[in-house]
Structure 1
């Protein structure tokens, strides 16, 4: 009888211990490197260009501001796909097999690759235009998946208003975009709506690699009055070439973010990608502290900033209205 009681107590203890462990595994981050206690974070970035680099920097500083500093509480592994979408899948698979505790995916293709690889490891996304249409979350308010983070959804109405203010005689707006990026297709669709609302005609040309850009511009520029550059990663990486050819042909560019203007676009009314990344880092800290991604809303930045390139305006003989100049950040350089 005593032996039976002892066995009963033993099995009860084992059951309780197992229940506790199972309860722990339901947290957003369930494990760390067992030998060091360090949380392992993998960062997958589609390509290097100023906006995405600023986002990554902001993310790390956002995490650090909440006590998760690289080399102390966390260990960060950064991988860049160099613009090759299949490579984003390889990176994601490696992060999953390496049992990362959290993945940051920068740009839509990197985010989709990460989500294809795991439905368990928490994924933070940033610089993703439309997480719902990209199949990453069920809704922005309540993701319902292992994905959350931030979207760089554009204030496209402000950007098309800027076209009307700076180039009042504009009738045709061109868009050059990468047909391989889902986020770019989404932006082209939204641009068509904005063009219709503002009485402008949209002329679109798709490319698949940087090698196509020069020829595409040669075909496109004679047909348009203004070029609009979306937050397309291939286009962002080629802005030096694009702005140079546009200035040469006296075609102003309205960009979708500040880095485009720094590279020679005329102007933009866009978001700050460093701030977007910082906000993503704050959300990541919440996940690392135990919150579940599926319950954290995907956030956007409401604040925008007008940026104008004075050098480009002078080269194009465009006079900047005082009401715009007084509230703008003025930059110089870029283009030729």
Structure 2
């Protein structure tokens, strides 16, 4: 009896590694489908970073992963139709960019067993997307980007110490934009800086606002908003005509002519989201994968500085992570 039992143990131990390896091989050979909801072309670099990060983690497009992605949405209202189509196609995971898009994804996932990753999202807790950063709950986790505004204003003051009035066009129903303004107003008060805010809900209203910038404005602030990202060229043009600086607490706008940007790096952010996506595809529960905060970078556009007659202090240039010369 003892001899038979020992033989059973030997056989079991011999077969166990084969079983484990077989399970790993099945996971590696599985083909996944990931849907992407991108509300605007201003986030294309984030999507590139996400795909590059997935490639590094062994997900090769056309081989073991398919992206359900037809490019940026022309209108946010189109998101619902795309999400519905993804779910009908048994998508394994959805990746949403921005707070408004992620809200639509969350609503669509209710009653399904599909999870989602997000990023950038400004403040997922305040926006009702997750229960908490440490324990998201539900079906979503991702990368938040709120937190860079106070330092972004400090960088603007380091370049333009005399700034006293900042013009802030923003969409008052956009969570991320409102949260940016809240953070900016709180920090500005410490330096006796006055904000002049104006609600803009579409491209035409933004164009009108930029033609009527207050005469006493020392700078223009670009909030975290798809509307502004999609029209950054108009903001830069209006500011250049007035010879006043521009600033943003998101990273990428410096590449498009904004004088100083301090916030997340688009490509790097996408790579970070891919790491969380990998966890979920391997079986982790979104409810238990903590939301992470993006790393922040300083970008300065020296071409813009020269065009509006501002000399950026050498000590500030030395601390910049990215420069447009």
Shift in Å at residue 37 of structure 1? 4.7
Is the contact made by 1:42 and 1:103 (CA closer than 8 Å) also made in structure 2?
yes
1:104-143 alignment runs, 5 A limit:
104-119=95-110, 120-143=113-136
Equivalence for 1:14:
none
Equivalence for 1:236:
229
Equivalence for 1:264:
257
Cα displacement string for residues 264-297 of structure 1 (whole angstroms, at most 9, x for unaligned residues):
1111222211111101101111110111100000
Equivalence for 1:183:
176
Is the contact made by 2:135 and 2:287 (CA closer than 8 Å) also made in structure 1?
yes
1:215 aligned to 199, 208, 214, which one? 208
Gaps of at least 5 residues in structure 2 are 1-26
Gaps of at least 5 residues in structure 1 are 1-31
Does 2:194 align with 1:201? yes
Looking at structure 2, the residues matched to 83 and 187 of structure 1 have their Cα atoms a distance apart, in angstroms, of 25
Equivalence for 1:94:
85
Is the contact made by 1:79 and 1:91 (CA closer than 8 Å) also made in structure 2?
no
TM-score (norm 2): 0.86
| Structure 2 SS opposite 1:62 | helix
Shift in Å at residue 219 of structure 1? 2.2
| Structure 2 SS opposite 1:213 | helix
Is the contact made by 1:221 and 1:249 (CA closer than 8 Å) also made in structure 2?
no
| Structure 2 SS opposite 1:40 | strand
Shift in Å at residue 90 of structure 1? 2.0
Cα displacement string for residues 203-255 of structure 1 (whole angstroms, at most 9, x for unaligned residues):
11111111111211122342411111122111011011110111001121012
| Structure 2 SS opposite 1:138 | coil
Shift in Å at residue 175 of structure 1? 1.1
Is the contact made by 1:152 and 1:276 (CA closer than 8 Å) also made in structure 2?
no
TM-score (norm 1): 0.83
Is the contact made by 1:178 and 1:207 (CA closer than 8 Å) also made in structure 2?
yes
Number of matched pairs: 295
Name the Cα RMSD after superposition: 1.8
User: In structure 2, do the counterparts of structure 1 residues 253 and 38 end up closer, same or farther at CA, with 3 Å as the change threshold?
Assistant: same
